[in-house]
Chains A and B, each alone.
Chain A
Amino acid sequence: MDSLPPAVIMVVAAVLVALTPAGIVRKVIAVGAPLLVLAQLIWALDDGNSWTLTWLSFDLEPLRADGLSMVFGYVFAIAAVLSGIYAWHLNERYQQAAALAYGGTSLGVVFAGDLLTLVLFWELMAFTSAYLVWAGGFPGSRGAGMRYLYVHLVGGSVLLAGVLWHLGTGGSLDFTLFEGTIASWLILGGFAINAAVVPMHAWLSDAYPEAGIAGSVFLSAFTTKTAVYVMARGFAGWEILIALGVIMALYGVVYAVLENDIRRLLAYHIISQVGYMVAGVGIGTEIAINGAVSHAFAHVIYKGLLFMGAGAAIYATGRRTLTALGGIGDRMRLVVVLYMVGAFAISAFPLFSGFVTKSLMVYAAEQEHLYWVVASLYLASVGTFLHTGLKLPYFTWFGPRRDDIRVGPVPRSMLVAMFLAAALCIGIGVYPDALYNLLPFPVHYEPYTADHVVRTLQLLGFTAVGFWLLRGKLGGEATITLDTDWFYRKAGTPLRVLLQEPLEAVFTGAQRGVDWTTRTATQLVRTPASGWPAILGRSRYAQGVDAETTMRRLGRPPLGLALAGIVVVFGLFVLLAELT
């Protein structure tokens, strides 16, 4: 087990799930496989474990375990277990298989020691996750899934181009820190699309809310965090990432104000939270990388919990917008309580996971005297609590009771998954060393100082005051908010007219020509007696005369003409031979 890539376990399990007819066996495999991976990571894999092989002339390393990959491996396995439990009620084998394969390919990226293995798993991740969007079953799922796949295929192509350029210019196949070459910029571009770096982020807020309720929980965990992982390994200390990260952190907050769809609101907050991590990677010091990694760890769990809570509300009511929800909290109390644990965690309340991870990153910025970064991240923190901790729960569950909304039961498995995620959010917040000890570098940081606790409570407490004063302005509005996907969604029609339709016209014309030639030749060879008149009947020579009359007029011209032709050609050859 110490040289078996965790991705193999998950992908084999995914194939088994796809082939297994019995529902209960599929469910056991869907939860058992990530549990097996978790056990492998805890007891079998260690820092330094590796598996190498040679393919063609390439030295590949499908398994490389070190401090950075192990911590992402742990949290991905935990996320797959929790999501698997949450999806226990699901009885759609291909969606279950795609979810497992998606988790597996994400683990494949995390443990890839070389760039070719990385690209392979990167592309597979795009296909398996796109299926989760398609399978959502909402009216917009199909289109959103296609756009999601297109964007990720473009990202994958940019990444592959970068890797090939890197290899072509003498670069190593090892996946390590990159230098500022053109190839590196291309690779960073590929990674940035998956990290939802603004303005290449719209695929996330477009697609995640259109996935199934369980599918969006899986989606919230893997794609963006694999991007954070690869950036932390390949681009730590690239200063442009600081600015990009801060823009992401604030951009998501602004859009969350405008959003009416509850899972799209959460999706914008993924962009915001990943912005913290990207900024941390850009700072690049040991503390900052620890901060980015620990925040990714906490984020996977609390964001999963938030999507689980929002999904439970949609499952119970069949409604997904703030304007269509509200006043149902007393009929789903446990869901509200567990959701609020996730909300407190993402908002970085003391005793919750975000408090001990977000502050580590802000501390890193402070150590580097990046005061504008510190102030911006605190501003984004205010927005985070405002939306995920106040706006979303208030307008989804609270307010005047609405008896017109039917609230169905929520499966117990969903509540179990939410409970486990909530327990982890509190566990990490109360005992941060459990997470700090997993980080790639030693941690010398104490989050629980009086100043930090009081500062946070003041900040968040008076954010709540601001919300209360302006709550009348914050309710959902039945609108669609334009984002950068407008450009490629609107460009679709002109691109089709300019590029696709002329090409299609050429192909169609060529195909028609081939069809006509084949049909005519066949007709002439098979039945010359009726074939020729059919052709000649359309000619000018035979105009106004029916085919049979034409044939009578001609006698048997084809045979005579053919013989004459043969004689003439033979004569020409003889003449040519004589002359030479």
Chain B
Amino acid sequence: MSIDRLTAVLIAVGVALSALIEVLFVDHRERLFVGSDIPLFWVGFGLAACIVIIVAAKWVGHSFLMKHEDPYTGEHVEAEPGERPDG
């Protein structure tokens, strides 16, 4: 994962904007579970959860679940399988 300068700046702007919106509009922060009421919690939760889901699922998939050969027919799985449009 490499972050170019533009992406880094946009993320920083997004975080700053989130902080500003929180300060301006949110009077009372609901505590849904431990830590969920700290400032910018949901920014971190969204980003971290997204990365964890992708990395963990891909790891499990590549380690155990994803097969290049169809386990039921023994055929190689095509990247662009021929299909037919159907009604």
Report the minimum CB–CB distance from B27 to chain A (whole Å). 7
Say yes or no: A386 contacts B33, CB within 8 Å.
no
Say yes or no: A318 contacts B46, CB within 8 Å.
no
CB contacts between A and B, total, < 8 Å: 186
Whole-angstrom distance between the alpha carbons of A90 and B78 in the complex?
Answer: 29
In A462-489, the 8 Å CB interface with B consists of 462-463, 465-470, 473-474, 477-483, 486, 489
Whole-angstrom distance between the alpha carbons of A452 and B14 in the complex?
Answer: 18
Cβ of B46: which chain A residues have Cβ within 8 Å of it? Answer: 382, 458-463, 465-466
Contact with B18, one of A92, A136, A319, A458 (Cβ below 8 angstroms): A458
Report the minimum CB–CB distance from B79 to chain A (whole Å). 4
Whole-angstrom distance between the alpha carbons of A456 and B41 in the complex?
Answer: 11
Whole-angstrom distance between the alpha carbons of A399 and B85 in the complex?
Answer: 23
Say yes or no: B54 contacts A386, CB within 8 Å.
yes
Say yes or no: A253 contacts B85, CB within 8 Å.
no
Say yes or no: B45 contacts A450, CB within 8 Å.
no
Cβ of B14: which chain A residues have Cβ within 8 Å of it? Answer: 461-462, 465
Contact with A451, one of B30, B72, B87 (Cβ below 8 angstroms): B30
Cβ of A481: which chain B residues have Cβ within 8 Å of it? Answer: 61, 65-67
Say yes or no: B64 contacts A324, CB within 8 Å.
no
Q: Which residue of B lies closest to A390 (CB)?
A: B50
- A408 interface residue per 8 A CB criterion: yes
Interface code A83-123, partner B: CB below 8 Å = 1, 0 otherwise? 00001011110000000000000000000000000000000
Number of B positions contacting A (CB below 8 A):
56
In B26-56, the 8 Å CB interface with A consists of 26-30, 32-34, 36, 40, 42-51, 53-56
Q: A258-B58, A470-B51 are in contact. Are A478 and B87 (CB under 8 A)?
A: no
- A448 interface residue per 8 A CB criterion: no
Contact with A314, one of B32, B54, B65, B83 (Cβ below 8 angstroms): B83
Say yes or no: B86 contacts A212, CB within 8 Å.
yes
Say yes or no: B42 contacts A459, CB within 8 Å.
yes
Say yes or no: B66 contacts A480, CB within 8 Å.
yes
Say yes or no: A138 contacts B32, CB within 8 Å.
no
Beyond known contacts A458-B40, A459-B42: 8 more, CB 8 A cutoff: A314-B86, A318-B85, A319-B83, A374-B33, A378-B49, A454-B18, A458-B43, A479-B66
Q: List 7 tightest A-B contacts by C-beta distance, closest first.
A: A466-B50, A462-B46, A257-B57, A371-B33, A478-B79, A458-B42, A479-B66
Instruction: Please list the residues of chain B having a beta carbon within 8 angstroms of any beta carbon in chain A.
Output: 1, 3, 7, 11, 14, 18, 21-22, 25-30, 32-34, 36, 40, 42-51, 53-58, 60-61, 64-72, 77-81, 83-87
User: What would 20 A/B residue contacts be, using CB atoms closer than 8 Å?
Assistant: A137-B84, A138-B83, A213-B87, A253-B57, A257-B58, A258-B57, A314-B86, A318-B84, A323-B79, A362-B32, A375-B32, A449-B30, A451-B26, A452-B30, A463-B47, A470-B54, A480-B66, A481-B65, A482-B66, A490-B71
